[in-house]
Amino acid sequence: MKRKRSLLCLATATLLAAFTSCKEEVENTYSNYRAYFVCQNVSTIPQLNAALNSLGIFATIRYDRSRFLFADETGHTTPVNATAIAGNSSLQMGIAGFIVGLPNIPELGSSTSAPVCYDLACPNCFSTYNISKSLQLKEGGYATCTSCNRTYNLNNQGQVSAGEGGISLFRYRINYSGNTMVINN
């Protein structure tokens, strides 16, 4: 009985050491900032429809005065009244809005690409100065911050691809099925 107890104590101590030793090195995939957005008519919004159905295409979603603005990298924007988008009674737009799309590089361990969603705020400006600086979409699946001059690769997990190093874009969970997209965390 003593031997079983000793083995159990040793196993517990080993597990605790394993979980706490890497604590500083772990970066969560998804952001802790509140996000909840539902769009049940994706096909009626050209920018969003293209972003969720075409590899390497991205769109932004912003909330402005009781309407949502869906924009692509060229600046073409479709405004949609907030009342036309169902399921947003508890709307949470992250820090500055969203960038959604279908990356042309699948995530590690996957053979196909799945939609991704990032916060529209520059994570390095927000983390350093606690200010929300919105990113600008660029051709080829990039987003840039005019404040800190960093460029993020939207096709590669939102990592910094140009400028001073830093953290990757804040990311949210996204589910796209049929004609409905749900963003949450």
Q: Give me the residue spans of the domains in the chain.
A: 29-120+167-184
Q: Which pLDDT score is estimated for 132?
A: 85
User: What residues are paired with 138 via a beta bridge?
Assistant: 142
Q: Which pLDDT score is estimated for 12?
A: 47
Residue 139, judged by CB atoms within 10 A of its CB (0-12, 13-18, 19+), counts as exposed
Q: Report pTM.
A: 0.82
Alpha carbons 95 and 122: distance in angstroms, whole number: 9
Instruction: Please give the C-alpha separations between residue 11 and each of 16, 20, 22, 103, in angstroms, as whole numbers.
Output: 9, 14, 17, 42
Q: Which pLDDT score is estimated for 28?
A: 77
Q: Residues 9-59: pLDDT tens digits?
A: 444 444 444 444 444 444 578 898 999 999 999 999 999 999 999 999 999
Task: Name the residue among 179, 173, 160 with its Cα closest to residue 42.
Answer: 179
Q: Which pLDDT score is estimated for 15?
A: 46
Q: Which pLDDT score is estimated for 99?
A: 98
> What residue ranges of the chain have pLDDT lower than 50?
6-26
Tell how strand 159-162 and strand 151-153 pair up: antiparallel
Q: Which pLDDT score is estimated for 89?
A: 64
Q: Which two three-digit tokens encode residue 113? A: 């690409």
C-beta atoms surrounding 27 within 10 Å: 7
